[in-house]
Structure 1
Amino acid sequence: MRYADGPTVEVQTLVAAPPAVVWALVSDVTTPVEFSAELQEVRWLDERRFVGRNSHPAVGEWETTCTVVEAEPGRAFGWVVGDPERPAAAWRFTVEPADGGTLLRQWMRMGPGRSGLTPAIEAHPDKEERIVARRLAEHRENMERTVDGIRRRAEAAGG
């Protein structure tokens, strides 16, 4: 698994709440702050762009500018990190009716642009697969925490 291949990770959960309730949570870019171990703060710059402040024990704190690239009410909300033409990552939530509730998915893809992993990969090209796999595992853990937190909030609000 190499960074240039655009590795992805996706998690999902069934939410016992209507899609509109889940949509309200996933389309609020501040919601993941409550649940992620990495994302610390989000603030809007304008109608399409926001800044996320992150923290990681191995690299410290950093900020990224993100651009909303998909906002289909009740269905999908997605954004890219960094340069919209060559993002460091792409993220998306999708919601769809399922079993009297909502199927919530969160997906992300690394690359194709440079990211915080790029210097580590350049310094240790022989360890690229391990670096990428570890980062995907960290993303998966935070994403699972996030969709589970959204599920709990949505069920408490409208389930």
Structure 2
Amino acid sequence: MTARVWTVEESLEVPLPPHAVYAALADVRRMREWSPEVIWVWPRGRRFVGVNRKAGWVWFGTCRIVVADPGREFAFDNITFGLPVARWGYRLTPTERGTLVTEYWTDLRRHGWRRRIAEVLGLVFTGTPPARRADHNRTGMRETLRRLRAACGPAA
């Protein structure tokens, strides 16, 4: 049995400067343009509700922006029914041709009875067992970054 993976990172270079990439990421309504699961976002200040879909599963998460450092990093925590689920974020590093965007995910379901409830809810809502969540998210992150790069390309 392999050990549970609690954090995943993927990176890809985007042909825009960090402040422009940050502006795209910080407009959370645009997340549905590049995320393979997000279908709708309702922003409410530093919080937003995201609705996601994967095959026959549809679920929502309440998110709170926890890092908003223009041109450097944008991150939010996903909370479902008051239970911490995950932190999603983007670190931006300037390069000669644009920005290296590193998307990261950290599973926040780590301790006690709250973890067990969050794990069951995660399986029921998304259909992804805890042991496969990191691999599933890594695949989605790669697609997200490819779509982000396309949206931020010369024609954007």
Aligned to 1:35: 34
**One of 102, 105, 108 as aligned partner of 2:102:** 105
Aligned to 2:146: 148
Aligned to 1:125: none
Where does the alignment leave 5 or more consecutive residues of structure 1 unmatched? Answer: 123-129
TM-score (norm 1): 0.78
Q: What fraction of aligned residue pairs are identical, expressed as a percent? A: 32
C-alpha deviation, 1:121, in angstroms: 9.1
Q: Residue 14 of structure 1 contacts residue 103 of structure 1 at CA under 8 Å; is this kept in 2? A: yes
Helix, strand or coil at the partner of 2:151? helix
Residues 117/141 of structure 1: CA separation in 2 closer, same or farther (3 Å cut): farther
Alpha-carbon displacement from aligned partner over 1:37-89 (angstroms, at most 9, x marks no partner): 321111112x111001112236x212111000000011100000117x96210
> Where in structure 2 are the equivalents of 1:1-80 lying within 5 Å?
1-2=3-4, 7-45=6-44, 47-57=45-55, 60-80=57-77
C-alpha deviation, 1:32, in angstroms: 2.4
How far apart are the structure 2 equivalents of 1:107 and 1:96?
A: 14
Helix, strand or coil at the partner of 2:28? coil
Alpha-carbon displacement from aligned partner over 1:12-46 (angstroms, at most 9, x marks no partner): 1012221122111111112221232321111112x
Aligned to 2:129: 131
C-alpha deviation, 1:157, in angstroms: 5.0
Helix, strand or coil at the partner of 1:155? coil
Q: Residue 85 of structure 2 contacts residue 118 of structure 2 at CA under 8 Å; is this kept in 1? A: no
Amino acid at match of 2:142: E
C-alpha deviation, 1:134, in angstroms: 1.9
Number of residue pairs matched by the alignment: 145
TM-score (norm 2): 0.79
Residues 77/134 of structure 1: CA separation in 2 closer, same or farther (3 Å cut): same
Aligned to 2:120: 119
Q: Residue 67 of structure 2 contacts residue 76 of structure 2 at CA under 8 Å; is this kept in 1? A: yes
C-alpha deviation, 1:116, in angstroms: 8.0
Residues 156/117 of structure 1: CA separation in 2 closer, same or farther (3 Å cut): farther
How far apart are the structure 1 equivalents of 2:116 and 2:137?
A: 14
C-alpha deviation, 1:120, in angstroms: 7.6
Q: Residue 8 of structure 1 contacts residue 110 of structure 1 at CA under 8 Å; is this kept in 2? A: yes
